[in-house]
Structure 1
């Protein structure tokens, strides 16, 4: 059943209240906050590439508070072990049995801070978690709390002592974004409120975690015209044939762009997707999935440049069939 116009309007109203609530903590970053909630309602995860001190932890905590959920923070370091993330089984002498102690991943919003500082073995511990929403330890499967979202960060400037994220894990992030420094007006507001730490600000819950699950389910019913599917497919194929690209967008990437576009359409109060939804999200959803040719990287070409050029060269559908 296709989402109705009234349902889309109600979704947009709630989405706007969620964004406005988090903006009390992350001043002047409406675009990034909207991207983060788009990832949440698309049942995906967010990768933030940014320098320290831009509010990444505050974003994760505020999002969890706004949906009346739980949040946790894991500082990734070279000595971090998989069990430090997922949890471990500890032998209880009184009961004579192993008891599972849940790790920090059992939360609605998990901040994986500086994820590229942990070893590949520890990074891989998140693969099953991010893809399937569950953990298997000692042959026993533990289902995670819902909704569930990982917000991972990595510093794009300092690379000493880091491990590059494998392509398989990058592909599991539905989008990549950057918070960036606040503008002058927002910086002044932050300085004026310097007596109050960001951690002291409590964002009132807008909706319950159960409502978030219902809204994420409703997003799947947003109408997608066949021409939109064709447009997304042509963009994905164009990345695979681009001269500067060694490895293009996978089918998972195309599906991620479609899911995100449906969420954005509902967030804008529409019950159908338009080409602008796809275009506005293409860089955030697709750029981190590209592996560029070394010569292109040496010439200063970035994945974002490639996506921007392909959007110019790939014509969007001109007509939309009736919903």
Structure 2
């Protein structure tokens, strides 16, 4: 593994997460009392950029916030962990994106996302270099993701979440696609992707080349506090590990360990150890497996 982690540019969403923690999730039409409310930085894009920075990568965020108090808080939280925010647009007239989240005692959640500024920005004036890895998700407009795929000349990664039909041009450009098992089933075209990582929660993760499994890794057994940011931490760790030269199996194992550490933390953007600590098995009790 290279001692110098690659530069990662994340093109994606920046949200304020408003989280209500309850004993169980409500059913349709049901009101549940005794919830505990908290607000914290979130958004799949911002979560992944923050995770990359914590893990030791050089992280740059491309996205947008509103010209409001929530947007200023999001920019401050990104900068505080070392994420470069110089290409985050501050849009007058658009509110900062917001996610309304209900989490139960087992860490399961229901989420409604109000995109706000995430749906209104463009890549005008943004430059990509050949040596940076570009990581996108689908919480921003598909045209922005397509434009990033066309303009980025380096390693291009798509976390295809939330699930939607994907243009063939986008899939062909992806050097790596990352999804969970539900998203994998909802997007049939992914079966022929050149390289795809699929997460299975407590059952670990696997790597497929053109539909053929080429590697897998077990998950660490942990007590779940919150699943919101775990997948995003996994994405950042997998990208950094692969680009640092680890094998598919090693990279999956390290990413599983990072995801397990993240799921133990109630924050959407948990503090993480350097990637090398997960590789060595010293960052959390369970350590990487597989």
Larger radius of gyration, structure 1 or 2? 1
Q: Give the structure with the larger helix fraction.
A: 1
Q: Give the structure with the larger strand fraction.
A: 2
Q: Which has the higher contact order (CA 8 A, sep 6+)?
A: 1
* Superposition TM-score tier, normalisation by shorter sequence: 0.3 to 0.5
Q: Taking structure 2 as the reference length, what is the TM-score of the superposition?
A: 0.33
